[in-house]
A and B are shown apart, each in its own frame.
Chain A
Amino acid sequence: MKNPIFDLENWREIGATLARNKTRTFLTAFGIFWGTAMLAMLWGGAHGAEGMLRRNFAGFATNFGAVFPNTTSVAYKGFNKGMSWSMTQQDIDAIRKVTPSIEHSTIMYNNYGNVAYGTNSTTARISGYEPAFSKINTAVVYSGRLLNDADEAQGSKVALLGKDLAAKLFGVEDPLGKMISAKGIYFRVIGVIGQMSDASISGRYDEAVVIPASTFRRVYNTGNNIDFFMYTASPGHKPKDIEPYIRRVICANHPISPDDDKALWFMDITEMFEMVDNMFLGFSLLALFVGTGSLVAGLIGIGNIMWIIVKERTQEIGIRRAIGAKPRDITTQILCESVALTIVAGIAGVCFATIVLAIVDHATTDPLLGSPGFVLTFSQAVGIAITFIILGTAAGTLPAIKAMRIKPIEAMRDK
């Protein structure tokens, strides 16, 4: 006998059988269709959800750390514990000098005050950054330019305006080159900027005025004190690697015990990213778990339905056996029916999931941040389809063996 897989007659017979039993075929196929679609949607959906959450951190350096002063917790060099202290420009210069693995760093000042243009005014955050800040938290430049080293060096009275603040103050007018006042000091607007994602440090760009740190220090009389120091580790290093250098500098310059781990407060964003990574690992595992569950349920469904089909068709199979079907003919028929159903329904399921994911992806695509990635890669799709086909065959095996064991006498008995 010819190999049944390449035998057109065999497939015609199977096609005819499936086509003549439409309800049964549809119900079986729907189970498989839904199983594959669920698995595919969960897989692509998990990927997309991760993309959506990750998008919140877009434009944010992931190896970023920061340090703030805090009150001391250990009495040292004649000072009581609970002492307040401030970081100074000397600390920052020393840190930059001794620490080898800082890539970008900036000091940061924050203040709130009245910001006005002409007769429009509002209260807004006024921040002083060094130019490297835009390397740590990338800003979207809507017009003009960012701060540069010359602005910092010369202490220029220039300002970047957040896009929402610009809209509030200027309406439809172009803010570039205009003078605004911030807490009574006038600045020339050199750029309009905006936030790339939701993640920000001490507030979003959108509602802020950003001026050079050196200018901030001079015009707002901050003296030598510095609120906040931020840095990113150079490639191959972690922000944690930088902490001992900072601690050493601070302890050398201030009466703070080297054992005092409360006096310096370090923020390490990588820990947060690790947490997010772990969360997504959990999320993927959950999707895999649920997806595998639906896959197994689908397969049990196929096996079950094929089993019922075999029971229901005992007489037919008996007749076929009586008129000359060999056991292998019957097994082949049942298996081919289950495989044909699985292939068609499985591929339909993957296609359906791809369409649903494409719609979701389209709906959640952000003009600025792009697609969150609600997609199934080709290899994932093929993988799901192949898995389903293999397992579908396996699920059809038991009923096929049962069918093979049906004796032709049973058909005659069944009156």
Chain B
Amino acid sequence: MIIQLKDINKTYPGVVPLHVLKDINLEIDRGELVAIMGASGSGKSTLLNILGILDNYDSGEYHLDGVLIKNLSENRAAELRNRLIGFVFQSFNLISYKNAVENVALPLFYQGVSRRKRNALAMEQLERMGLADRAHHLPGELSGGQKQRVAIARALITKPSIILADEPTGALDSTTSHDVMNLFRELNAEGMTIIIVTHDPGVGAATNRIIRISDGRIVPDEPIITDIKPQIIV
């Protein structure tokens, strides 16, 4: 089990406190390809933030790859994010003034890897994404699909335990979305654990398991499709 959430509660304080996550219990195994789905306001973004160690929770326990994620210092959280999690965002979140290779290599900069080595590793990742010829282009010179592949390469470079993708196809057209989902499936086939937050049923259908969130609670699991490769409907 790579992710284990036990009775997670999260309330945003305010004049009217907002109880966004209510007793969330969730287990995700190594090598799963999971979609977290829900309407906006359902709490799925908060769940993603907690899974990504970007936000704290109030009660319960969260274990990521055997590490208890609770009341961490900013430094420790940053270190764990860097080591364990690869983020893929809807708006790609590439640094606009850095070229593809530098963007991909950036997480290694914060590990103190030398420039030569991290650029070599970044080139390897870009080759894997079929973007070797775009390595020295700035994000502005890349198409949406290319940007997302650069972002995925960046997520992969630290060899993380999980990939957390937040609406990874939200800004892409259907063909490119299709390509990106295929890429995720390929990565998953190589053994990578991938969690995708989405409200797009097509994306959900392309995964192996859908976790539905509604009103801060997990809707009981749908039957897990394991044997048959699902049709990609995107």
- Name the CB-closest residue of A to B170: A415
The A contact surface, by secondary structure, is helix
A324 to chain B, nearest CB (A): 2
Which residue of B49, B97, B106 is within 8 Å of A21 (Cβ)? B97
Q: Give Cα A328–Cα B90 distance, bound, in whole angstroms.
A: 27
A414 to chain B, nearest CB (A): 8
Contact B78 A326 (CB under 8 A): yes
Interface segment, one of B108-116, B123-131, B174-182, B187-195: B108-116
Which residue of A16, A323, A411, A415 is within 8 Å of B98 (Cβ)? A16
Contact B54 A408 (CB under 8 A): yes
Which residue of A13, A21, A325, A412 is within 8 Å of B166 (Cβ)? A412
Q: A17-B97, A324-B78, A325-B78 are in contact. Are A407 and B107 (CB under 8 A)?
A: no
Cβ of A260 under 8 Å from chain B? no
Which residue of B83, B91, B94, B97 is within 8 Å of A324 (Cβ)? B83
Cβ of A218 under 8 Å from chain B? no
Residues of A with C-beta under 8 A to B96: 316
- Name the CB-closest residue of B to A9: B115
Residues of B with C-beta under 8 A to A415: 90-91
Residues of B with C-beta under 8 A to A316: 95-96
Complex interface residues of chain B between 72 and 117 (CB less than 8 A to chain A): 74-75, 78-79, 81-83, 87, 89-91, 93-98, 102, 106-107, 109-112, 114-115
Q: A16-B102, A412-B54 are in contact. Are A319 and B93 (CB under 8 A)?
A: yes
Contact B74 A327 (CB under 8 A): yes
Q: Give Cα A407–Cα B53 distance, bound, in whole angstroms.
A: 11
Which residue of B55, B98, B110 is within 8 Å of A325 (Cβ)? B110
Residues of A with C-beta under 8 A to B95: 316, 319-320
Contact B89 A324 (CB under 8 A): no
Which residue of B49, B82, B83, B90 is within 8 Å of A409 (Cβ)? B49
B56 to chain A, nearest CB (A): 11
Contact B79 A324 (CB under 8 A): yes
A121 to chain B, nearest CB (A): 83
Residues of A with C-beta under 8 A to B212: none
Complex interface residues of chain A between 1 and 47 (CB less than 8 A to chain B): 1-2, 9, 12-13, 16-17, 20-21
Contact A20 B110 (CB under 8 A): no
Q: Give Cα A16–Cα B166 distance, bound, in whole angstroms.
A: 29
Interface residues of B, count at CB 8 A: 33
Cβ of B145 under 8 Å from chain A? no
A187 to chain B, nearest CB (A): 85
Q: Give Cα A17–Cα B158 distance, bound, in whole angstroms.
A: 22
Cβ of B168 under 8 Å from chain A? no
Cβ of A243 under 8 Å from chain B? no
Contact B75 A328 (CB under 8 A): yes
- Name the CB-closest residue of A to B83: A324
Residues of A with C-beta under 8 A to B78: 321, 324-327, 329
Which residue of A12, A323, A326, A412 is within 8 Å of B74 (Cβ)? A326
Residues of B with C-beta under 8 A to A1: 112
Cβ of A124 under 8 Å from chain B? no
Residues of A with C-beta under 8 A to B89: 411-412
From A20, A21, A329, residue with most partner B Cβ within 10 Å? A20
Cβ of B52 under 8 Å from chain A? yes
Residues of A with C-beta under 8 A to B44: none
Q: Give Cα A9–Cα B110 distance, bound, in whole angstroms.
A: 10
From B87, B93, B97, B111, residue with most partner A Cβ within 10 Å? B93
Q: Interface digits, B107-149 against A, CB 8 Å rule (1 contact, 0 not)? A: 1011110110000000000000000000000000000000000
B93 to chain A, nearest CB (A): 5
Residues of B with C-beta under 8 A to A327: 74-75, 78
Cβ of A269 under 8 Å from chain B? no
Residues of B with C-beta under 8 A to A329: 78, 110
Q: A322-B52, A325-B78, A326-B79 are in contact. Are A13 and B91 (CB under 8 A)?
A: no
Q: Give Cα A328–Cα B78 distance, bound, in whole angstroms.
A: 11
User: Which residue numbers of B lie inside 8 Å of A, CB to CB?
Assistant: 49, 52, 54-55, 74-75, 78-79, 81-83, 87, 89-91, 93-98, 102, 106-107, 109-112, 114-115, 154, 158, 166
19 contacts across the A-B interface (CB closer than 8 A): A2-B112, A9-B112, A315-B93, A319-B93, A322-B81, A322-B93, A323-B87, A323-B154, A324-B82, A324-B158, A326-B74, A327-B75, A327-B78, A328-B75, A409-B55, A412-B54, A412-B89, A412-B166, A415-B91
Closest 6 CB pairs between A and B? Answer: A324-B82, A20-B97, A324-B110, A326-B78, A323-B107, A319-B93
